[in-house]
Amino acid sequence: MTNINTSDYELLDSGDGRKLERFGEYTLIRPCSQAVWKPSLADHAWDAATATFDRSESNQWHNRGDLPHEWKITAAGIKLILSGTDFGHLGIFPEQRAQWEWIYKTVKELNAERGSPLKVLNLFAYSGGSTLAAALAGAHLCHLDASKGMVQWARNNAAANGLENHPIRWIVDDAHKFLCREIRRENQYDAIILDPPTFGRGQNNEMYKIEQDLPETLSLCRQLLSDKPAFILLSAHTPGYSPVVLKNVLSQSMQEYHGTTATGEMLLTGTDQVLPTPCGVYARWIAN
C-alpha cells in the first residue's frame, strides 16, 4: 500500500461529461453527467491521467495497471484508504468534505456545551467519512451500511485514524429493519446522518427507492431522536433532487421540533480557476 499522509483531493478540471481529479499523487478521469460545459485544460493535461474509468464500455478502467490496489489520502483531516472498484467508486465521495468539516465542528461544540459525548447514528454510511468526522470530534457512533464489504472498509479507515477502539457500533443490515429494531429497543440518538441511495438493495435483497422510501426513513429516524436532539444531516445524489426538495421533506418531518433547516449543493472543487462541479445536495436540520 502506498501511504500519502499529507495529500488531499483536488478537482483539476471537468467538462464533456467527465471530471479530472487528483487523489494524492494519482489523477483519474471518471464520468460526470453534470459537467455539460467544455473542459478548461488542454488535452495533454487529461491525457496524462493515471487511469480512466468509462461506463460506455461496460464499466471498465483503462491504464489501471498504473494505479495501486490501495493507497491513502487525507481529506478534511480524515485518513481514507482508496481503491478503484469495478463501479468506478474509490471509497470516497469528495463532495462530502464540507459536510465532514461541519460535522466535526458541530459535534466538537455540542460535546463541550453538553458536557458529554453526542450519540450519533450514520445510515447508508459507505466507507465512513461522516462516521470518522464525528468520532474524531468525540461522538459515540453507530455506523450502518447494507454492504458487509463497505462496513469492513469503514472499519479499516477507522483503524487508519487510530479509532479502532473508539465506541463505534458497526452494523451490516437493511436500514429500515434496523431502525424498527432500535425503536423497539428504545435506543435513542442525539444526531442522525444519512445519505440514502437513489436505488439500493439490503443484504437480504431488500429494495430501497428514495422517492418511495425517504419519508418513511425520516419518520423512523425522528422516532429515534433523544429528548435533546442536536441535528439531522440529510444528503442525496439523486438526479432532480434540489436543495428545496430536501429542505421540504426534512422540514416537514421535523415540524414538531424547534429548529431550522439549512440547505445547499455539494460541490467538487479545486483552485479558484477551476469550475466547481455540483455533485448532490444536502439539508441540515439543527435544533434551536
What pLDDT, on a 0 to 100 scale, did the predictor assign at position 87? 85
Residue 104 is which amino acid?
A: Y
Strands (E), 113-194: 119-123, 140-145, 168-172, 191-194
Q: Which three cell numbers, joined as nine digits, stand for 168?
A: 463505534
- According to DSSP, the residues that pair with 62 across neighbouring strands are 52
What is the pairing mode between strands 231-236 and 191-194? parallel
- Per-residue model confidence as pLDDT tens for the chain (288 residues): 333 334 489 999 999 999 999 999 999 999 999 999 999 999 999 999 999 998 876 778 888 788 999 999 999 999 999 999 888 899 999 999 999 999 999 999 999 999 999 999 999 999 999 999 999 999 999 999 999 999 999 999 999 999 999 999 999 999 999 999 999 999 999 999 999 988 777 666 677 888 889 999 999 999 999 999 999 999 999 999 999 999 999 999 999 999 999 999 999 999 999 999 999 999 999 999
What pLDDT, on a 0 to 100 scale, did the predictor assign at position 284? 98
Residue 199 is which amino acid?
A: F
**252 C-beta neighbours (distance < 10 Å), count:** 11
- Counting other chains too, the contacts that 29-34 makes at CB distance below 8 Å and 24 or more residues apart are 29/53, 30/88, 31/55, 31/88, 32/277, 32/279, 33/239, 34/277, 34/278, 34/279
Q: How far is CA 175 from CA 124, 170, 273, in A?
A: 7, 13, 41
Residue range(s) in the chain whose domain bears CATH number 3.40.50.150 = 94-287
What pLDDT, on a 0 to 100 scale, did the predictor assign at position 204? 66
The CATH T-level fold of domain 94-287 is Rossmann fold (3.40.50)
Sign of CA dihedral 161, 164, 168, 171: positive
Q: What is the pTM of this model?
A: 0.93
CB 154 within 8 Å of CB 164: no
Q: In angstroms, rounded to a whole number, what is the distance separating the alpha carbons of residues 38 and 265? A: 21
Sign of CA dihedral 251, 224, 131, 148: negative
Q: How far is CA 242 from CA 138, 149, 176, 199, 233, in A?
A: 32, 30, 24, 17, 15
The CATH T-level fold of domain 9-82 is Immunoglobulin-like (2.60.40)
- Find the angle CA(256)-CA(259)-CA(262) to the nearest 5 degrees: 125
Residue range(s) in the chain whose domain bears CATH number 2.60.40.1180 = 9-82
Q: In angstroms, rounded to a whole number, what is the distance separating the alpha carbons of residues 281 and 192? A: 17
What pLDDT, on a 0 to 100 scale, did the predictor assign at position 139? 98
What pLDDT, on a 0 to 100 scale, did the predictor assign at position 170? 98
CB 158 within 8 Å of CB 164: yes
